[in-house]
């Protein structure tokens, strides 16, 4: 289980809020301590942890509870959103050159998986219909060149080699020339890795970079090294200027520190992640999916998001006022039924709403079907009729016209009108659902 320890560490934070009614400064102290500990144990750097915990606390006590959402669920959502932000928010796509070949320069310390990444990346681009060529630039280890040739063969891409006697910057120049001749889409240059950062390595990289004018300069870092990976990305960025990082060995028992720290510490995004030794094991880094995986609570997250959406759809208090003053009209009816339909369409989530455990998927489908019928009839009404349901109650002609326009029977229209008046009562039940009542039955 990836980041298993972090996941269970965070879990203890939610557990402490079980049974609470609200989020307060006092009752989040313990959970926040758990979150802090979990992140530190995951090897996230201290300043990052501090900022994170502060941001989460501020939101936890600063925002009201979403109706129908429990404090522990809301905290899960806040932590999720902050984790996404921490990891850079959006996925950071590879950039491709508009003219000539795209050049990707790969750097990294020895053993991080750089050579493997070269071939994985070529394989990944091939699946996107892009041709690529690898350039073997690790002139200090003949074995590294051999390995690249073997991997290149394995994924079916050419590898440019010039032995170990040629300077890396010259190899780069020749390789790029060759790729242009062959009209290759993407050139991927492997460079020498050292056991640790040294000046010779940086100088060589700078020189290669000058020759290649790469579209992307990506530092390959090992997830197992935690916050050290983030520090490396910073150093390489300051020294040679990079565009992002590739995080390898996420499949191992890494603790999460690297994934969570790289962007925040270095300002550079993780663009791709390696999740295994096979050539297929390379994928874009999606901060939201990663956060979801870390929390391991996809269901709760979906539920809170949907609840937020429903509440945005209609300001509940405004609606309640309308119901109380009997001004609830067909416009409100439509808005609300649509919101309910959206809630209802997530059968899996329905069971998680307090008090709605007994609603079966069949009932939900039935409710959705009747909502569709109602929508069609309401859409056939004039604006005036929507605002004044009384007009329809008084006029069989109007009801007949709506029946014809919507393809329903006059009886169905009459039922709908009657239902609106009942709905003024029913809406009170709906408000109850959001707070733990039972699902209103909608019939046609």
Stretch that binds ligand GDP, among 92-100, 173-181, 246-254, 346-354 (CB under 6 A): 246-254
E strand residue ranges, 286-442: none
Tell me the chain's radius of gyration from C-alpha atoms. Answer: 29
Site for ligand GDP in 290-329 (CB under 6 A): none
Q: For 249, what's the count of Cα atoms within 13 Å in the CB-facing half-sphere?
A: 18
Site for ligand GDP in 253-282 (CB under 6 A): 274-277, 281
Distance CA 368, CA 219 (A): 51
Q: What residue has token string 């109380």?
A: 324
Cβ atoms 334, 375 nearer than 8 A: yes
- The answer to the question of residue 435 lying near ligand GDP (CB under 6 A) is no
245 versus 377: smaller Cβ distance to ligand GDP: 245
Taking the complex as a whole, the smallest distance from the CB of residue 300 to ligand GDP amounts, in Å, to 30
Stretch that binds ligand GDP, among 11-19, 38-46, 112-120, 434-442 (CB under 6 A): 112-120
Among 16, 36, 80, 249, binds ligand GDP (CB under 6 A): 249
Taking the complex as a whole, the smallest distance from the CB of residue 190 to ligand GDP amounts, in Å, to 7
Among 170, 251, 299, 305, binds ligand GDP (CB under 6 A): 251
- The answer to the question of residue 354 lying near ligand GDP (CB under 6 A) is no
Distance CA 423, CA 407 (A): 23
Distance CA 285, CA 93 (A): 9
Taking the complex as a whole, the smallest distance from the CB of residue 262 to ligand GDP amounts, in Å, to 15
Among 4, 111, 357, 396, binds ligand GDP (CB under 6 A): 111
151 by Cβ neighbours in 10 Å (0-12 / 13-18 / 19+) ranks as: buried
Taking the complex as a whole, the smallest distance from the CB of residue 236 to ligand GDP amounts, in Å, to 14
First to last CA, the chain: 48
Label residues 376-411 b or e (16+ Cβ within 10 Å = b). bbbebbeeebbeebebbeeeeebbebbbeebebeee
- DSSP, collapsed to helix, strand or coil, labels residue 222 as strand
Give me the residues paired with residue 334 across strands.
none
Q: Using alpha carbons only, give the angle 371, 373, 379 rounded to the nearest 5 degrees.
A: 95
195 by Cβ neighbours in 10 Å (0-12 / 13-18 / 19+) ranks as: exposed
- Going from the C-alpha of 168 to that of each of 103, 120, 190, 354, the distances in angstroms are 15, 22, 10, 64
Distance CA 48, CA 367 (A): 47
- The answer to the question of residue 248 lying near ligand GDP (CB under 6 A) is yes
Cβ atoms 186, 104 nearer than 8 A: yes
Stretch that binds ligand GDP, among 157-165, 174-182, 247-255, 336-344 (CB under 6 A): 247-255
- The answer to the question of residue 225 lying near ligand GDP (CB under 6 A) is no
- The answer to the question of residue 284 lying near ligand GDP (CB under 6 A) is no
- The answer to the question of residue 408 lying near ligand GDP (CB under 6 A) is no
- DSSP, collapsed to helix, strand or coil, labels residue 245 as strand
Site for ligand GDP in 186-215 (CB under 6 A): 193
Taking the complex as a whole, the smallest distance from the CB of residue 108 to ligand GDP amounts, in Å, to 6
Taking the complex as a whole, the smallest distance from the CB of residue 127 to ligand GDP amounts, in Å, to 17
Among 92, 102, 116, 370, binds ligand GDP (CB under 6 A): 116
CA 72 distance to own-chain centroid = 21
Among 252, 357, 361, 407, binds ligand GDP (CB under 6 A): 252
Stretch that binds ligand GDP, among 111-119, 121-129, 346-354, 373-381 (CB under 6 A): 111-119
Site for ligand GDP in 49-108 (CB under 6 A): 108
Among 115, 234, 370, 415, binds ligand GDP (CB under 6 A): 115
Which residues form the interface with ligand GDP (CB under 6 A)?
A: 108, 110-116, 193, 248-249, 251-252, 274-277, 281
């Amino acid at each position: 289980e990836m980041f298993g320890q972090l996941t269970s560490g965070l879990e203890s934070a939610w557990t402490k809020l079980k049974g609470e009614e609200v989020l307060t400064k006092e009752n989040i102290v313990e959970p926040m301590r758990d979150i802090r500990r979990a992140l530190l144990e995951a090897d996230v750097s201290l300043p990052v942890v501090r900022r994170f915990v502060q941001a989460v606390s501020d939101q936890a006590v600063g925002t009201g509870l979403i109706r129908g959402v429990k404090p522990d669920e809301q905290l899960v959502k806040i932590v999720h959103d902050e984790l996404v932000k921490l990891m850079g928010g959006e996925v950071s796509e590879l950039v491709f050159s508009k003219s000539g070949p795209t050049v990707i320069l790969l750097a990294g310390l020895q053993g991080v998986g750089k050579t493997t990444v070269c071939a994985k990346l070529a394989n990944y681009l091939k699946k996107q219909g892009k041709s690529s060529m690898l350039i073997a630039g690790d002139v200090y280890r003949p074995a590294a060149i051999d390995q690249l040739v073997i991997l290149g063969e394995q994924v079916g891409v050419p590898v440019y080699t010039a032995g170990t006697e040629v300077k890396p910057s010259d190899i780069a120049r020749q390789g790029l020339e060759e790729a242009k001749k062959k009209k290759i889409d993407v050139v991927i240059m492997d460079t020498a890795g050292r056991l640790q950062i040294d000046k010779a390595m940086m100088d060589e990289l700078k020189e290669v970079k000058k020759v290649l004018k790469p579209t992307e300069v990506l530092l390959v870092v090992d997830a197992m090294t935690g916050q050290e990976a983030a520090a490396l990305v910073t150093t390489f960025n300051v020294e040679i200027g990079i565009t992002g990082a590739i995080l390898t060995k996420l499949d191992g028992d890494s603790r999460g520190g690297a994934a969570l720290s790289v962007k925040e510490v270095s300002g550079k995004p993780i663009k791709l992640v390696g999740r295994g030794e096979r050539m297929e094991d390379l994928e874009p880094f999606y901060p939201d999916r990663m956060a979801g995986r870390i929390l391991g609570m996809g269901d709760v997250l979906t539920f809170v998001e949907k609840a937020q959406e429903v509440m945005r759809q209609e300001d509940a208090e405004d609606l309640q006022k309308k119901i109380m003053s009997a001004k609830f009209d067909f416009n409100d009816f439509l808005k609300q039924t649509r919101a309910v339909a959206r809630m209802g369409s997530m059968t899996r989530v329905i069971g998680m709403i307090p008090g709605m455990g007994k609603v079966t998927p069949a009932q939900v489908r039935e409710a959705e079907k009747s909502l569709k019928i109602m929508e069609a009839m309401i859409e056939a009404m004039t604006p005036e009729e929507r605002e004044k349901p009384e007009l329809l109650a008084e006029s069989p002609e109007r009801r007949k016209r709506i029946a014809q326009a919507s393809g329903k029977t006059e009886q169905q229209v009459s039922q709908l009108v009657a239902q609106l008046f009942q709905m003024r009562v029913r809406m009170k039940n709906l408000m109850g659902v959001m707070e733990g009542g039972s699902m209103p039955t909608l019939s046609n």
